[in-house]
Amino acid sequence: MNLSDVKGKIRVKKPKRLGRGVGTGKGKTSGRGHKGAGQRKGKVLPYIGFKGGNLAYYRKIPKRGFTSPNRKDYQIVNLMDVETKLKDTKEIDSKVLKDANLIKDVKKPVKILADIRSEFSVKAIFKADKFSSRAKELIEKVGGKAEIINR
């Protein structure tokens, strides 16, 4: 006997029979109460957050801040990760970073940051949308090149 052979009890729940006399407990109004939209045929449940006609909670909360429609979301790559995964690469661009699982999407912009604990030693040509000033400084100090791509 295997665990995959064991079958549990299948319980079929029958739908409640409504409107079959007052004595059944679900007769007369059939569990819909008296009057109002909920009692009528074709009733539609109100939206989430509906408070019976009172002002909904999400409408009471003050709206603050601003989200720019022109905002760019950069994928961040640290020099420490580049050093551990791409030590022998001569040219590092978004395709190489994607293959090394350092970014998720080739089409989205990439920013390279200088989060590194030891000395940076990868001499390569970096092609990215943005560089932090420290990252650019570290790349050029080793003899590499930081090229900015305009998308």
Q: Per-residue pLDDT tens for 87-125?
A: 889 999 999 999 999 999 999 999 999 988 888 899 999
Give me the long-range contacts of 134-140 (CB less than 8 A, separation at least 24): 135/79, 138/79, 138/114, 139/79, 139/112
pLDDT exceeds cutoff 80 at 37: no
Q: What percent of the chain has pLDDT over 90?
A: 53
| SS3 letters across the chain | CCHHHCCCCCCCCCCCCCCCCHHHCCCCCCCCCCCCHHHCCCCCCCCCCCECCECCHHHHCCCCCCCCCCCCCCEEEEHHHHHHHCCCCCEECHHHHHHCCCCCCCCCCEEEECCCCCCCCCCCEEEECEECHHHHHHHHHHCCEEEECCC
pLDDT of residue 140: 94
Domain boundaries along the sequence of the chain: 75-148
pLDDT exceeds cutoff 80 at 143: yes
Q: Per-residue pLDDT tens for 46-70?
A: 778 888 788 888 889 998 999 899 9
Provide the whole-model pTM: 0.58
How many Å apart are CA 33 and CA 22, to the nearest integer? 13
Q: For the chain, give the number of residues.
A: 151
The overall average pLDDT reported for the chain is 90
How many Å apart are CA 71 and CA 76, to the nearest integer? 15
How many Å apart are CA 127 and CA 120, to the nearest integer? 17
N-term to C-term CA, the chain:
62
Q: What is the CATH number of domain 75-148?
A: 3.100.10.10
If one counts every other C-beta atom within 10 angstroms of the C-beta of residue 111, the result is 16
**Bridge partners of 130?**
111
